[in-house]
Structure 1
Amino acid sequence: MTPSNPDPSDPTPGREGGVPPGETPPAEGSMSEAGPRNDPPKGWGAGPLIVIVVLVLLVVVGMVGYAVFVHD
């Protein structure tokens, strides 16, 4: 029986100094859709604001009605 070599000369890539070109990730310029949109919308739309205002008005009317009912 021959003893196994404790330091085999395995041609594993990346063991020597430097990184071979096939092991590097792609550059950020080659990735599509990596950044923000060109013209993102600013602020809220009219629909959600109208719904919020209506809900707030309903709550205020309900509180005033409750205060008048309890006061009587």
Structure 2
Amino acid sequence: MSDDKSKQGQQDRSRVAGDERYEVEYFASRHGLTQAEARDLIDRIGNNRADLDAAAEKLNADRDAG
């Protein structure tokens, strides 16, 4: 199902539409991830943007530490 761009509110901004390529690209570029890494996080964590942001930050911190 496509993202309904006419219905943009807090609920829409709090989610990452994993089936929309541009959303995955934006999320990946924002966190310095590959699109595959971003999709993996979305599959594992879900589409809650706050949870995904935290998971991406942890992934980057783990990568920097190792």
The reply to whether TM is greater than 0.5 is no
**Structure 1 length-normalised TM:** 0.30
Higher helix share goes to which structure?
2
Larger radius of gyration: 1
Greater RCO structure (CA 8 Å; 6+ sep): 2
